[in-house]
Amino acid sequence: MHNLSHQSSSSPKTQHSRLTKLIIISSSLCIVYLLLSLLLLHTSKLVNLSRSSQDLKASTSIDHLVFGIASNHNSWPRRKDYVKLWWRPHQMRGCVFLENRSPSTSSQNDTSLPPVCLSDDTNRIRYLNRGGLRSAIRVARVVSEIVAMNHSNVRWFVFGDDDTVFFPENLVKTLSKYDHELWYYIGKNSEVIMQNKVFSFDMAFGGAGFALSYPLAKVLAKVFESCLERYIYLYGSDGRVQACVAELGIGLTREPGFHQMDIRGNMFGLLAAHPNTPVVSMHHLDFTDPIFPNMTTTQALEHLLEAAKVDPHRLLQQTVCYDRWFSWTVSVSWGYAVQVFGNRVFLPDVLRTPQSFIPWKGGSVLAESYVFDTREYHPDPCRRPVVFFFERVDYAKGGGGIKSSYRKMTNEDCAFDTGSPRKIEAITVLSQKLDLDIKQEELVQSRINLVCIQSNRVNSITKPQVLDLPFLSQIYTEARQRSKKLGNQYEAVWLPIMNDSSTPLNEEKQKQVETTRVSMLWFSVSHPSMVAPAFV
């Protein structure tokens, strides 16, 4: 950081790269501090609670689940690619249900996909809904047909469509919060008020996926056949399941990680403002733009799953940070995108969902209204916060932290001043793997997203400035004190970067480096030539 100060009058290009590095450092500190404090805050209070519930039963894992996926001969050849993204052939049980006809596609032997099961014939059950398709009955019966297969050691039955993408670790995590020996019907309704008004606010929308605990599914399967006869006028399969579950006295347990996605176009807002809960599913990806720029839908999902492999529970979870150096507001949606606002934005406004998408069907106020808070997504990209999309994730060297990088992947031609975050090219976020236990997870969900404030010293720097060493030292000391109180351990390291490491430093510079190094509180490398610019 010292070399920042003695090169303060160099060309715009070096200023630019300097700014980039500064941001890497400041945001890392901020995120690390923030995530660690979250973990520790909770562990200290909750250790006892969670122990007692864990001792009771071995924790739920992926082999306690059985999946019933509804598809048909027309869509399966295309949509099996979605299922392939999340299906774990040797770990998961269940099957994909196709109509009982034309064995052509069902004879496929792809071991990376769930086996195909043929649905029973449902012609004897009447279907009287004018707007819908009678295949709704066949799809509803996936519930009773999969139960009839008598799988052993099942805790949860999970249902979804062929265009539902599940995040398996998060699904398990979410279901493990509940006692699988009780009766549970878990899922979520639609994002769109009109959809809920027409179908039901208390229905688990089928495309988002839903889960039934084993004992509930067993009882439901027994009464399902006769129950279906009572609901011949309903539109969909999910409405039939809801009605029959309601007859057993069970209502919907809402889990915000399930996503029906009754919206079209650009999903950015929905994903970037994800609540602090593990993302369980996504749906309707045929109707949405690819979630990363310059990729196909499937490539983009594969890219997101790269992040999920490293820290599945944190995926998409939003963290907000206020940078006091530049008066910027930074919102991290882990593994997906970082937004930087060039000003201070109040927390409740950052948490609102940017309305980047369009409704499933327009035409009325309710059809264009959502069940969550929204904010404007400005048509002019230059008037929106700068967005950096997830690029890659690695384990940080030593210490078990995770380093994720985000890069500007769009190319707006915006006029900007020197203080604009638009000059940054990339952002690195350091975090610890999110591994909250069950009780903590419940608490976090009811909590608001976290706010990180870097320093008590309120300093309204609106333009990037070269930061002097004493100022940095003070921030460092304050952060250390705070983190010590919480029992955190992290370290800052000074990495002086030379723009040309082949030219040796002259004696004067060499001396400067040495004096700086000695006066610093934190670790550093012994000589700038040890860090090649390419490393950063």
Q: Which stretch binds ligand NAG (CB under 6 A): 147-155, 189-197, 323-331, 528-536?
A: 147-155
Residue (218 or 482) nearer to ligand NAG, CB: 218
Q: Taking the complex as a whole, how short is the minimal distance between the CB of residue 14 and ligand NAG, in angstroms?
A: 5
Sole window of 19-27, 148-156, 318-326, 448-456 interacting with ligand NAG (rule: CB under 6 A): 148-156
Report the site for ligand NAG in 253-292 (rule: CB under 6 A).
none
Residue 149 in contact with ligand NAG, rule: CB under 6 A: yes
| 294 C-beta neighbours (distance < 10 Å), count | 10
Q: Which of residues 365-404 bind ligand NAG (CB under 6 A)?
A: none
Please list, residue by residue across 320-355, b when 16 or more beta carbons sit within 10 angstroms of its beta carbon and e when fewer do.
bbbbbbbbbbbbbbbbbbbbbbbeebeeeebbebbb
Helix, strand, or coil (residue 171)? helix
Contacts of 337 (CB under 8 A, 6+ apart): 268, 271, 272, 387, 388, 389, 390, 406
In the bound state with ligand NAG, the residue whose beta carbon lies nearer, of 39 and 409, is: 409
Residues numbered 402 to 431 that lie near ligand NAG (CB under 6 A) are 409
State yes or no: residue 14 binds ligand NAG (CB under 6 A).
yes
Identify the residue among 212, 387, 402, 498 touching ligand NAG (CB under 6 A). Answer: 498
Q: Which is closer to ligand NAG, CB of 149 or CB of 536?
A: 149
Query: CA 472, CA 16: separation in Å to the nearest integer?
Result: 20
Count of residues that interact with ligand NAG, criterion CB under 6 A: 14
Stretch binding ligand NAG (CB under 6 A), from 98-106, 110-118, 200-208, 499-507: 499-507
Q: Is 150 in the site for ligand NAG (CB under 6 A)?
A: yes
Residue 172 or 498 with smaller CB distance to ligand NAG: 498
Under 8 Å between Cβ of 69 and 160:
yes
The greatest distance separating any two alpha carbons of the chain, rounded to the nearest whole angstrom, comes to: 92
Question: Residue 165: which H helix or E strand, with range?
Answer: strand 165-166
Out of 48, 104, 107, 111, the only residue in the binding site for ligand NAG (CB under 6 A) is 107
Contact assessment for residue 405 and residue 426, using Cβ atoms and an 8 Å cutoff: yes
Q: 11 or 526: whose CB is closer to ligand NAG?
A: 11
Measured torsion, CA atoms of residues 509, 510, 516, 520, in degrees rounded to the nearest 10: 150
Cβ 421 to ligand NAG shortest distance, Å? 19
**Alpha carbon separation from 325 to 23, 423, 465, 522 (Å, rounded):** 10, 15, 8, 19
**Least Cβ distance, residue 237 to ligand NAG (angstroms):** 22
Minimum Å gap between C-beta 410 and ligand NAG is 7
Helices (H), 177-264: 193-198, 214-230, 237-247
Enumerate residues 6+ apart whose C-beta is below 8 A from 224.
Answer: 140, 141, 143, 144, 244
Q: Quick check: 9 binds ligand NAG (CB under 6 A)?
A: no
Region 314-333 residues binding ligand NAG, contact defined as CB under 6 A: none
Answer yes or no whether residue 503 interacts with ligand NAG by CB under 6 A. yes
DSSP state at residue 288:
B
* Shortest spacing between CB 396 and ligand NAG, in angstroms: 25
| Closer residue to ligand NAG (CB): 34 or 96 | 96
Q: Check residue 104 for interaction with ligand NAG (CB under 6 A).
A: no
Residue 80 near residue 116, CB atoms below 8 Å: no
Q: Which is nearer to ligand NAG, 14 or 298 (CB)?
A: 14
Contact flag: residue 502 with ligand NAG (CB under 6 A): no
| 8 Å CB contact between 202 and 155 | no
CA atoms within 13 A on the CB side of 129: 20
Footprint on this chain of ligand NAG (rule: CB under 6 A):
10-11, 14, 107, 109, 148-150, 294, 409, 498-500, 503
